[in-house]
Amino acid sequence: MRSKAGQELRLLDVPAYRRYGAYDELHGLGLAHNASSEDGRKGAGRAFADTLKRATAKHYGQLADMRFTDFIKTKIKPKGARLRPVDCERLLGHWAARYRHETTAVALAVLMLTHSTRISETRQAKWRYFDLVGKTWHIPAVDTKTKKAHTLPLTAQVCAFLTRYRASQSAKGYDGAYLFPGLHGQPLNRTVAQLAFSALAGGEWTSHDLRKAARTAWTDLGVDYLIGELLLNHALKALDVTYIHTSAEVQKRQALERWHAWLDERGFAALHSPADIAYART
């Protein structure tokens, strides 16, 4: 079955080391007449179970309005980046060599590096979200962290790579809706996607490190800070929202064209135009 929102990640463990676990404390629900009898407590236990069932159905398994900081008071320091822009040449060469045997994992990594997207929104991408003629990639609000629809420009290089990737899928007999298919007609689930990345990275980096590396490279390439934030689909600050009323599509496209040209110089062309590379070497 497909998991509901909030069921793939648990931030809080409920201790169950007492006699009845969570049922030792019934949180204000009325006890049965004979509170000292185990049988007499079943009525309150049933009410407690029904309350939990209704709450999880209403909130889809989430912790409602609770925040991580409600439980952890220590300030959490951001993790250091395990990838730098200088690593891109090594990565691209590695991916080009493994594309034939690990096609799905490589394609997922390529899309994330080229657009700095999150793993959740990338793994759920459908072919109909990609317009290779108009050169855009639409990510619906339901798939984004900010719950706002996001549109990214597609460069000529990425369109060529997607064409190659779809041909690889067709050759294996797949013509489904998702770029990264999982089981039972669903997209690749998060756990399987992370395992694919672990195998591809050999434990040296994570999917989020690709996003960090791309963002760092954009700064080095002179991409405007706001354009970078729009490409990342970060939630803008209140003041920015007040004064900025543009999606800056032209500037976003120019930024990605600059970025992908930079990647081409470091081996990206071997992934999106392998025939041209082979011809040039003969």
- Amino acid symbol at 45: G
CA dist., res. 97 & res. 92, Å (int): 9
Give the H or E element holding residue 136.
strand 136-139
**Nearest to residue 95, comparing CAs of 75, 81, 109?**
109
Q: Dihedrals φ, ψ of 256, to 5°?
A: -70, -35
Q: Dihedrals φ, ψ of 140, to 5°?
A: -65, 155
Q: What is the pLDDT of residues 68-89, one digit of tens each?
A: 555 555 565 656 678 899 999 9
CB atoms within 10 A of CB 5: 11
Residues composing the chain: 282
**Nearest to residue 268, comparing CAs of 134, 137, 155?**
155
Query: What's residue 281's pLDDT?
Result: 42
CA dist., res. 116 & res. 145, Å (int): 14
* Unique residue bearing structure tokens 């760092």: 216
CA dist., res. 145 & res. 155, Å (int): 24
CA dist., res. 28 & res. 44, Å (int): 10
Is 230:218 a contact under the CB 8 Å cutoff? Answer: no
How many helices (H) and strands (E) would you count in the chain?
12, 3
Angle, helices 190-201/207-220, rounded to nearest 10 degrees = 70
CA dist., res. 51 & res. 49, Å (int): 5
Q: Dihedrals φ, ψ of 57, to 5°?
A: -70, -35
* Unique residue bearing structure tokens 């041209």: 276
Q: CB neighbours of 142 closer than 8 A, spacing ≥ 6? A: none
CB atoms within 10 A of CB 71: 10
Is 13:71 a contact under the CB 8 Å cutoff? Answer: no
Residue stretches of the chain with pLDDT short of 50: 239, 241-243, 245, 277-282
* Unique residue bearing structure tokens 């959740």: 120
Query: What's residue 53's pLDDT?
Result: 72
**Nearest to residue 260, comparing CAs of 248, 268, 252, 250?**
268
CA dist., res. 53 & res. 30, Å (int): 17
